[in-house]
Amino acid sequence: MPKIGAVADDLTGATTTGVLLARSKARTAVFFNEKAALSAEGMDDLDAILISSNSRPLPGSAAFEVVTAATKALQNMGVQYYSKRIDTTLRGGIGTEIDAMLDTLGGDTVAVVVPAMPQSRRIVVGGYSIIDSVALIRTPVAHDVRTPVTENYVPRLLQSQSRRQVGLVKLGWVLKGPESIARKLEDKRAKGNEIIVVDAVSIEDVEAIAQACVDLKWNVLAVDPGPFTAKLAYCRGLIQTEQANIPEYSLDNHGKSVLIAAGSASPVTKRQMEVLCEDERHVRISIDPVKLITGGQAGDEEAQKAIDKALDLLDQKIAPRAILFETALHGVLLDLDEEDADRGYYGGQCADMINAYLGKIVKAVVDARRPQIAGLYCTGGDTEVNVCRELGVQCLEVVDYVIAQTDIGALTGKYAGIPIIGKGGLTGTEDIVLKIVDRLFQEATRYI
């Protein structure tokens, strides 16, 4: 019976937390929605379940509804400890989603918010979020197309979204250790704070916060990008020490290819793909996004062109080591919000159409040449969701990560045995995709 349950606002967030548990010897599954989790079989063999509510871009009322439904699904599965997985860059309606979970869990549950993920150089000092030594609002996420973040002070950001009182435990108290943290948490709670933000700059800080919560014997809703959830589980004796899970061998040079669906349009992703394609063994297939968002015959024909080109490449005597499908890394970058408005679409429809077509393209190629596919890589959570949806996959079993927030899982169902890696668009160094492709060839050895 799974003891740990989490609701994440997107798929990559769910896998990020799930991988930390999986690396600590907890059998962990990530479901794409609450309906998939409720209909799944074999849950008794799992230690942890994570559900993606896909709620990050939703209006507050809609996000509240789906997060409530996901929390109730976890309750129905007998989960004992709950987490709300949040984005490391604080996108989405975090306060609203905390309210939804606290309302559902009821009782004396208190939300302890630890937004730091030191493994990814995400820290919080004095309540301010710092990303790789840069203030959050000075990073590209401040201009995110769908969910921009313009508030750097975490308590104020949450207070603007929640109807509960928000408090802060500053770093000075955290550095003194679990007893100091526990005293300050009690003080904040006595003052009526039901949501308490806690500073942290190292993984040791995160563990100290977790130990304080366990010592207090509180009913805690962990709100974090993953490390706090994992450290709580460790301090409760539910998981072991985190360790890498890397296969010894590789299927590189065995005539197989990796398929890459690049849905993220961030400058970080663009540069990463440029580095990938500097290696002539990796081939780019550029797809016209205008035709995809036009849809109908124009979209179908553009998708089929990409499929045909990929199949031709796979039929060559020496197939590419990786094939990249991309719509936003060449030419002029479209303003998808403007395109939605000009075409009379709902907000985000253009992005949804592009990602859906990427999913259809990947599915067609996998169906036609499955023995040649070493694995799949998707950049952007929406892209990974659409690829898996097209493949009919509702659950991933997570196993490891390449780097933090670049997570490795395995498809289930009809396509069981195909490894998949997902990564947020703002994560990783310039050469990260080269490492991802290498790792997929290693992961493929688990399933031969």
Asked if 46 and 76 sit in the same domain, the reply is: yes
Domain end among 170, 203, 235: 235
- Report pLDDT for 322: 98
Q: Is the pLDDT of residue 51 over 80?
A: yes
> Same domain, yes or no, for 64 and 27?
yes
**pLDDT, tens only, 247-272:** 999 999 889 999 999 987 778 888 99
Residues 201 and 145 in one domain: yes
CATH code assigned at 401: 3.40.980.20
pLDDT above 80: residue 379: yes
Please check whether residue 203 lies inside any domain of the structure. yes
Does 150 map to a domain?
A: yes
- Give pTM, 2 decimals: 0.86
Which residues 6+ apart lie within 8 Å of 111 measured at CB? 84, 98, 101, 102, 164, 194, 195, 196, 220, 221, 223
Residue 399 has pLDDT above 90, yes or no: yes
Q: What is the pLDDT of residues 285-336, one digit of tens each?
A: 999 999 999 999 999 999 999 999 999 999 999 999 999 999 988 877 888 8
pLDDT given at position 104 = 98
248 in a domain, yes or no? no
168-186 tens-digit pLDDT: 999 999 999 999 999 999 9
Q: Which positions ≥6 away from 363 have C-beta within 8 Å?
A: 387, 390, 391
**Gap between the Cα atoms of 178 and 215, Å rounded:** 8
The answer to whether residue 249 is domain-embedded is no
**75/183 same-domain check:** yes
Q: Does residue 220 sit in the same domain as residue 268?
A: no
Answer yes or no: is 418 within a domain: yes
Does one domain contain both 113 and 170?
yes
Tell me whether residue 241 is in a domain. Answer: no
CA distance 332 to 329: 9
12 in a structural domain: yes
CATH code of the domain in which 224 resides: 3.40.50.10840
Q: What is the pLDDT, as a whole number, of residue 226?
A: 96
Residue 247 domain flag: no
Domain count, the chain: 2
Residue 62 and residue 141 share a domain: yes
| Tens digit of each residue's pLDDT (9 = 90 or more) over 89-128 | 999 999 999 999 999 999 999 999 999 999 989 999 999 9
- Say whether pLDDT at 42 is over 80: no
Same domain, 94 and 214: yes
- Of the chain, the percentage scoring pLDDT greater than 90 comes to 81
Residues 162, 308, single domain; the answer is no
Contact between residue 108 and residue 115 where contact means Cβ atoms under 8 Å apart: no
Backbone phi, psi, residue 14, to 5°: -65, -45
Single residue among 201, 235, 269 that ends a domain in this structure: 235
Distance between CA atoms of 333 and 325, rounded to whole angstroms?
A: 16
Q: 269 and 229, same structural domain?
A: no
pLDDT number for residue 428? 85
Query: Does residue 43 register a pLDDT over 80?
Result: no
Residue 39: exposure state from Cβ atoms within 10 A (0-12, 13-18, ≥19): exposed
Of 200, 235, 270, the one marking the end of a domain is: 235
> Which pLDDT does position 34 carry in this prediction?
87
pLDDT tier for residue 147 given thresholds of 50, 70 and 90: confident
Cα torsion angle, 92, 228, 180, 238, sign: positive
Query: What's the pLDDT score for residue 424?
Result: 72
Q: Which domain holds residue 305?
A: 257-447
Find all residues with CB under 8 Å of 11, minimum gap 6, and list them.
Answer: 30, 32, 52, 54, 381, 384, 385, 388, 422
Mark whether 51 and 172 lie in a shared domain.
yes
Rg of the chain taking only CA atoms, in angstroms: 21
210 and 276 in a single domain? The answer is no
Question: Does residue 426 contact residue 91 with C-beta atoms inside 8 Å?
Answer: no
Give the mean model confidence (pLDDT) for residues 424-443: 91
